[in-house]
């Protein structure tokens, strides 16, 4: 120990020693890591040199060539597989390019090809928007321009990470991404949404972030297409484009992203088959074959020392002007290291060997490229024996990655125009949507995600697919029909397809979209791809851009349209005569939740509602109930929510709070059984006219076979009002059996008698359909989506102190608290369709607001608005009955009072609970009490309910 440490206080000395130990350990670990890295680098270097010496000249040439293959099942004897095997065995190609395919077929075929090859293979693919660019059933990532619209390079980094993770799981070790072209030409038919945008700094930031994400994930990234394909109006797949920009402009704009990618350590750069006269002087020489561009600019000026790979040799931009054998030699002379996707491997291989023999290429030149290739393979770890590290099923299409991809797509949504403030649309007020899919190519465009997202949200939606194959009469019919919709959504799937030479919409489709813009009803156009199409339809009043047709982008468009997400994206490109770069209107998401603090505009309602205070306090003094909670919702705001009294009549009783849990008794029928029935009805698994014999084949005699599900929901099945089965039997199955044996008291449908027995059967039927118990079904379908965490059957014991007691039950011989009060429900285990549910006023307020919202709450659809209307309207079945389906409607002297509208619906619970909902006023009233405490003989709750209901209506109408 040093003398300096000895003179320090013991505590400080101990701390210093610990700190010194940490520093020394860290230094040792760093030194060990450096030594390990150095050792690994030494091994890699040794492998590169050794392998290079061992390769024959033919094998070296083979390393420079990468043909393509499909990720599909191939029989060993099929011509396609035999050609692949020949490329590996005869020519020793250095790698392969994966085109379209499936997950397992691709992975297994790659593994097989790697085993067949003498040398480890590059397996590359154009994963420009992740593996989904080529491989089905992988994470759906948006196109690059959607990422550019976010302005957030974190998303580009994440894009690279997801791409690398799925690529490695498939066996792909090299991705031909990111696209670093600056799309500053709106007429570009080949880049477009493949680019991050027109701002070179934005493209540079995003591209470098992708490179870091991908290469940290263990795959090689590729910047493309050098020297820049963004300012072209010709598709290089079809002919040779010419870039007319000056050298100064290229350096200040097109090369900015490439410089940044090189700084980020990008492992490869892909050349473009385009001519740049300012650099080469020859307007017909592709950059791929230009030594001035490849060596002079990319190698020497920009300092790039890693792999240069050509674009596909099958593209007309190259092949129309050159024989592929000569083009391959010229590409190597210019500085390329790898010839990509030749139409014939043997021709290119032989041409390169011949060039070696006749002196056009030297072995030294070949060796430089092969050494770069081997170093890249060593960087990937291919010099070591490869094993599949993880199971494909754990890596590919990971839901968490998919969730983050969805966030990317949502963050990029950009609102270019909204002159009439139509976005967002409030689904609570949209009854019907007519969606037109404008398909720029043909009817094969995949629009399934967009359509499904609309179906999930909209009660009534119609779809029409309009494409270049549509006839004038088809359009005329569609134009007539859309006029009746509350909202017209025009989704333009106008993506750029390389090799098609097409950009934008066909003139005919653009003209039809222009006719839509003249409609009086709201018309919102959504560009699911090319954002420039608004130039063809300049009168569109509302224009939303996703910059992508990926599934996540289709879903994001629908979510933005209906205000589920805020709109924050900014245009990454200029749309001439429409909007400048970085333009974009912002929108907040729509609140579909119950507003808990009333806004100023409803204060005139809040003040009169205070009259309820005195009414409830008077009821408590009169011992109508020991305590209560009242919640009133009006126009989506909780304008009144107050607890009163205590849980019991003792002076020491715990005060009621807003979170007090009450036995809801028969509210179970409308909070659990009825919405679950609605759910199965919408799925087509339940119909009102289904007879009970469908579920109970032996249920015959005495008109039993006439009973339908509708009879159960309207209390008109013929069952007695109540029977005390609990005295003799236990268990749900015993109850169901006993009910099925019970004689009917009247002919089904002849009158209505409120009966628990029919609802108990309904619960059993729902459990048969759902394959689960009613409590689980209700929680999954209703309570969890709504966040109703304190609405449940059989509450746990730790909730009992917060639960209002019900009766001193003579049958059970104790005070009931936290156990269902209804004896039959108790005998069935506490879970039944007629009773058993416990809950709080706050949870019930959310449920009521969901119904007033038309079945939606916080952008989650529980049921459709049409289903709610169907179930809550008076059925008049049998004639004169006030019953709806599961629900009740106002009638003389009902608990709804005298002022609720005829469209209102509600229900009561025996323990002293009730809810009433008036959709015409956007009003609900929740009243929770434990009036049966300490005895059910207290029956004065009815007048209290009526008084509360009438007071609320008078307060909101200014009549108090």
How far is the C-alpha of 617 from the C-alpha of 478, rounded, in Å? 61
Sequence-ordered alpha helix ranges (H) in 527-664: 551-561, 603-609, 611-621
Q: Are 415 and 577 in contact (CB under 8 A)?
A: no
CB 559 within 8 A of CB 410: yes
Distance CA 153, CA 141 (A): 15
**Is residue 665 classed as helix, strand or coil in its secondary structure?**
helix
| DSSP conformation letters of 934-952 | S-TT--THHHHHHHHHHHH
Q: Read off the tokens for 522.
A: 């709201």
∠ CA 265-269-272 to the nearest 5 degrees? 155
> Token match 């097109």: residue?
254
Tell me, yes or no, if 821 is annotated catalytic: no
Q: How many C-beta atoms lie closer than 10 Å to residue 723's C-beta?
A: 16
Length of the chain: 960
Given the residues 311, 648, 809, 822, select the one marked as catalytic.
311
Phi-psi region of 171 (alpha: psi -120 to 50; beta: other; left: phi over 0): left
Q: Cβ distance 373 to 63 under 8 Å?
A: yes
- Say which DSSP state 654 is in: P
Q: Which residues of 702-715 are buried (b: 16+ CB within 10 A; e: fewer)?
A: eebebbbbbbbbbb
Q: Could you tell me how many helices (H) and strands (E) the chain has, helices first?
A: 35, 27
Residue 279 · residue 297 · CB < 8 Å: yes
- Please name the helix (run of DSSP H) or strand (run of DSSP E) that holds residue 923, with its range, or none: strand 923-929
Read off the tokens for 375.
Answer: 């170093």
Q: Tokens 């619209």 label which residue?
A: 149
Q: DSSP of 216-267, one letter per residue?
A: HTTSB-EEEEET--SS-SS-TTTS--B----HHHIIIIITHHHHHHHHTT-S
Is 803:795 a contact under the CB 8 Å cutoff?
yes
Region of 818 (left: φ > 0; alpha: ψ -120 to 50; beta: rest) is left
Contact by Cβ (8 Å): 719, 741: no
Category of 584 on φ-ψ map: left (φ > 0), alpha (ψ -120 to 50) or beta: left
Catalytic residue among 87, 229, 231, 237: 237
**Is 398 assigned a catalytic role?**
no
What span, in angstroms and rounded, lies between the C-alpha atoms of 764 and 852?
Answer: 28
Residues 6+ apart with CB under 8 A from 383: 43, 44, 47, 48, 51, 120, 377
Instruction: Map residue 445 onto helix, strand or coil.
Output: coil
Q: Which residues are catalytically annotated? A: 237, 311
């Amino acid at each position: 120990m040093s003398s300096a440490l000895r003179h320090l206080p013991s505590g400080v000395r101990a701390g210093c020693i610990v700190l010194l130990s940490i520093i020394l350990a860290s230094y040792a670990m760093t030194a060990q890591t450096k030594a390990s890295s150095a050792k690994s680098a030494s091994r890699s270097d040794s492998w590169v040199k050794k392998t290079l010496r061992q390769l024959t000249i033919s094998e070296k040439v083979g390393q420079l060539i990468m043909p393509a293959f499909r990720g599909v099942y191939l029989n060993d004897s099929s011509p396609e597989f035999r050609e692949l095997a020949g490329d590996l065995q005869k020519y020793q190609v250095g790698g392969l390019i994966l085109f379209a395919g499936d997950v397992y077929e691709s992975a297994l075929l790659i593994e097989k090809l790697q085993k067949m090859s003498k040398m480890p293979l590059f397996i590359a693919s154009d994963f420009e928007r992740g593996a989904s660019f080529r491989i089905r059933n992988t994470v759906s990532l948006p196109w690059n321009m959607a990422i550019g619209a976010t302005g957030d390079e974190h998303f580009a980094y994440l894009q690279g990470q997801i791409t690398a993770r799925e690529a490695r799981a498939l066996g792909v070790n090299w991705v031909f991404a990111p696209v670093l072209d600056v799309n500053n030409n709106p007429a570009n038919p080949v880049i477009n949404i493949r680019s991050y945008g027109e701002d070179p700094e934005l493209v540079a930031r995003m591209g470098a972030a992708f490179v870091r994400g991908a290469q940290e994930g263990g795959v090689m990234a590729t910047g493309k297409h050098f020297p820049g394909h963004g300012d072209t109006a010709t598709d290089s797949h079809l002919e040779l484009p010419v870039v007319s920009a000056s050298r100064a402009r290229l350096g200040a704009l097109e090369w900015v992203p490439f410089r940044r990618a090189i700084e980020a350590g990008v492992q490869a750069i892909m050349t473009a088959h385009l001519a740049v006269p300012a650099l080469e002087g020859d307007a017909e020489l592709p950059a791929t074959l230009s030594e001035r561009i490849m060596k002079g600019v990319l190698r020497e000026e920009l300092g790039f020392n890693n792999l240069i790979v050509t674009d596909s040799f099958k593209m007309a931009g190259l092949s129309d002007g050159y024989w592929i054998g000569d083009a391959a030699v010229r590409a190597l002379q210019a500085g390329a290291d790898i010839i990509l996707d030749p139409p014939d491997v043997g021709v290119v291989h032989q041409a390169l060997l011949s060039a070696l023999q006749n002196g056009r290429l030297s072995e030294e030149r070949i060796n430089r490229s092969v050494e770069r290739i081997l170093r890249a393979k060593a960087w990937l770890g291919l010099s070591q024996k490869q094993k599949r590290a993880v199971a494909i099923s754990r890596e590919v299409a990971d839901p968490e990655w998919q969730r983050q991809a969805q966030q990317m797509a949502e963050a990029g949504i950009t609102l270019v125009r909204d002159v009439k403030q139509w976005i967002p649309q409030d689904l609570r007020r949209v009854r019907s949507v007519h969606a037109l899919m404008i398909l720029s190519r043909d009817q094969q465009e995949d629009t399934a995600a967009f359509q499904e997202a609309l179906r999930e949200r909209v009660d009534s939606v119609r779809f029409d697919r309009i494409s270049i194959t549509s006839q004038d009469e088809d359009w005329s019919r569609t134009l007539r029909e859309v006029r009746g919709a509350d909202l017209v959504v025009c989704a333009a799937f106008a993506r750029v397809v390389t090799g098609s030479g097409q950009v934008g919409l066909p003139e005919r489709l653009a003209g039809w979209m222009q006719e839509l813009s003249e409609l009086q009803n709201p018309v919102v156009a959504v560009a699911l791809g090319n954002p420039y199409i608004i130039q063809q339809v300049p009168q569109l009043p509302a224009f939303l851009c996703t910059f992508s047709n990926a599934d996540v982008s289709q879903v994001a468009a629908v979510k933005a349209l209906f205000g589920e997400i805020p709109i924050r994206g900014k245009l990454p490109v200029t749309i001439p005569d429409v909007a400048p770069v970085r333009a974009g209107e912002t929108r907040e998401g729509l609140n579909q939740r119950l507003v808990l603090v009333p806004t100023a505009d409803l204060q005139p309602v809040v003040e009169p509602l205070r009259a309820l205070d005195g009414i409830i306090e008077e009821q408590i003094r009169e011992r109508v109930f020991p305590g209560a909670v009242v919640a009133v919702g009006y126009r989506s705001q909780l304008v009144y929510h107050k607890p009163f009294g205590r849980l019991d009549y003792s002076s020491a009783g715990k005060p009621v709070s807003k979170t007090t849990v009450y036995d809801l008794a028969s509210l179970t029928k409308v909070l659990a059984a009825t919405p679950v029935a609605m759910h199965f009805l919408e799925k087509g698994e339940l119909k009102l006219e289904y007879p009970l014999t469908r579920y109970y084949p032996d249920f015959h005699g005495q008109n039993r076979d006439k009973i339908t599900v509708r009879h159960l929901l309207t209390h008109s099945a013929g069952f007695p009002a109540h029977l005390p089965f609990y005295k003799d039997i236990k268990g749900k199955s015993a109850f169901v059996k006993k009910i099925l044996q019970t004689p009917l008291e009247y002919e089904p449908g002849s009158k209505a008698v409120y009966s628990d027995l029919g609802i108990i059967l309904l619960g059993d039927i729902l459990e048969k359909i759902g394959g689960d118990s009613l409590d689980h079904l209700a929680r999954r379908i209703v309570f969890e989506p709504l966040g109703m965490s304190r609405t449940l059957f059989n509450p746990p014991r730790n909730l009992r102190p917060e639960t209002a007691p019900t009766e001193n039950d003579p049958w059970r011989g104790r005070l009931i608290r936290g156990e269902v009060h209804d004896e039959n429900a108790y005998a069935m285990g506490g879970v039944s369709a007629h009773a058993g549910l416990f809950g709080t006023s706050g949870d019930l307020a959310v449920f009521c607001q969901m119904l007033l919202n038309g079945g939606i709450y916080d952008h989650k659809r529980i049921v459709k608005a049409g289903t709610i209307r169907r179930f809550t309207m008076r059925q008049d079945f049998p004639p004169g009955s006030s019953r709806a389906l599961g629900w009740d409607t106002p009638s003389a002297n009902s608990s709804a009072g005298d002022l609720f509208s005829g469209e209102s619906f509600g229900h009561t619970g025996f323990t002293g609970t009730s809810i009433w909902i008036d959709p015409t006023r956007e009003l609900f009233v929740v009243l929770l009490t434990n009036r049966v405490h300490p005895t059910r003989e207290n029956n004065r709750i009815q007048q209290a309910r009526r008084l509360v209901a009438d007071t609320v209506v008078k307060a909101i109408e200014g009549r108090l």
